[in-house]
Amino acid sequence: MGGDHGPAVVIPALMMVATRRPDIRFVIYGREELVRPELAKFPKLAEVSEFFHCEIAVRMDDKPSQALRHGRWKSSMWKAVEAVKSGAADACVSAGNTGALMAMSKFCLRTMATIDRPAIAALWPTLRGESVVLDVGATIGADAHQLIDFAILGTGMARSVFGVSRPSVGLLNVGVEEIKGQEEVKEAGRMLREANMASMNYHGFVEGDDIGKGVVDVVVTEGFAGNIALKTAEGTVRQIGGYLRAAMSRTLMARIGYLFAKGAFDRLREKMDVGRSNGGVFLGLNGIVVKSHGGADSDGFAAAIELGYDMVRNNLLDRIEADLDLFHARNPHAQTSRKSDVVSDAKE
């Protein structure tokens, strides 16, 4: 029910994925008067789907606390997340209100045992392919232990999605030199280097321009910087697209030149298409939740569904739990200091 277009985008996306992934099944939650007419257009989709009417749909401008308080038991968003908790679904995908989806997911699924806060991870197009970037908006500000958590979470996602046995990981910083950056980032770098985890190749610090270069498989930062980087990249893509359209239509010779280079421009457009990497994953929860961009078209929403599908198929949660257990077994002081910080915060 969420996003800019609701069922008119979501239902065709389900049909696309059902065609490409014959083993997939869907559980759909929404308002019957809006979903049923769309679903009726795809009889084959109805054969592999269950639909449940919900009285409430969380609005895009609802505050997370409002959505959690008033829509917890009846909303389509809550029902979708709850399906993951009960085992009725393996993953939840929504284009709805991000804050509400995160609040409901945290409340319903809870965070993993050693995780303080979840992160939103995004797939980022790069010159070498794609990278995982996290956190892009869930946690504003993060200490060294939380950054390490994000590194482990991102590593698990990279192993599941990219099929890389030992992904390279970098901490986003204002410089690559060890003396630069906030103390939290420098401490996290030291601890990751000393941990020398078998599932992770810690690269060191990376700068903003290294993200697009694809220097590492996983880029770790806190949510404030990560969200600004993501929105800046999306805006830059649209800006470059506008420049190209204006340049190609300026003169007759430019239009003729475009016709000769159309194939190259089509490949460029495909590379720059944000929808192809659509889907922010809520990592650190006891379940898989994927947040689609609200403005995504059917192709974009289908990409978000297939991202969730791939993470289920490749046992993302089991990989993350194994990596977390291994890290804390080798670094018991990390969990002890974390608990001390929580007690200190509670007293304050």
pLDDT tens-place string over residues 169-211: 999 999 888 888 889 999 999 999 988 888 899 999 999 999 9
Question: How is domain 119-279+315-347 classified at the CATH fold level?
Answer: Isopropylmalate Dehydrogenase (3.40.718)
**Residue of higher predicted confidence among 336 and 18:** 18
pLDDT band at 275 (very low <50, low <70, confident <90, very high): low
pLDDT tens-place string over residues 220-274: 999 899 888 888 887 887 787 787 778 778 888 877 877 777 777 667 666 656 5
Please compute the mean of the pLDDT values over residues 132-154 and round it to a whole number: 91
Beta strands in the chain (DSSP E): 26-30, 49-53, 91-94, 119-126, 129-134, 168-172, 201-206, 218-220, 280-283, 288-291
pLDDT tens-place string over residues 299-345: 999 999 999 999 999 999 998 988 888 887 777 666 545 544 443 33
Please compute the mean of the pLDDT values over residues 1-5 and round it to a whole number: 89
Angle (CA) 190 195 197, round 5°: 130
The pLDDT value recorded for residue 341 is: 45
The pLDDT value recorded for residue 179 is: 80
pLDDT tens-place string over residues 35-62: 999 999 999 999 999 999 998 899 888 8
CA distance 336 to 346: 16
- Report residue 325 as tokens: 């257990």
Please tell me if the domain spanning 7-110+285-308 has the same topology as the one spanning 119-279+315-347.
Answer: yes
The pLDDT value recorded for residue 343 is: 33
CA distance 7 to 31: 9
Torsional sign, CA 239, 240, 246, 247: positive
Secondary structure of residue 75 in the 3-state scheme:
strand
Question: How many residues appear in the chain?
Answer: 348
Q: Where are the domains of the chain?
A: 7-110+285-308, 119-279+315-347
Listing from the earlier edge strand, what are the strands of the sheet with 119-126? 91-94, 288-291, 280-283, 119-126, 129-134, 218-220, 168-172, 201-206
What backbone phi and psi angles, to 5 degrees, belong to 200? -140, 135
Question: How is domain 7-110+285-308 classified at the CATH fold level?
Answer: Isopropylmalate Dehydrogenase (3.40.718)
Instruction: Say if residue 283's pLDDT is above 60.
Output: yes
Lowest-confidence segment of 52-56, 141-145, 277-281 by average pLDDT: 277-281
The pLDDT value recorded for residue 291 is: 94
The pLDDT value recorded for residue 336 is: 47
pLDDT tens-place string over residues 68-94: 887 667 899 999 999 999 999 999 999
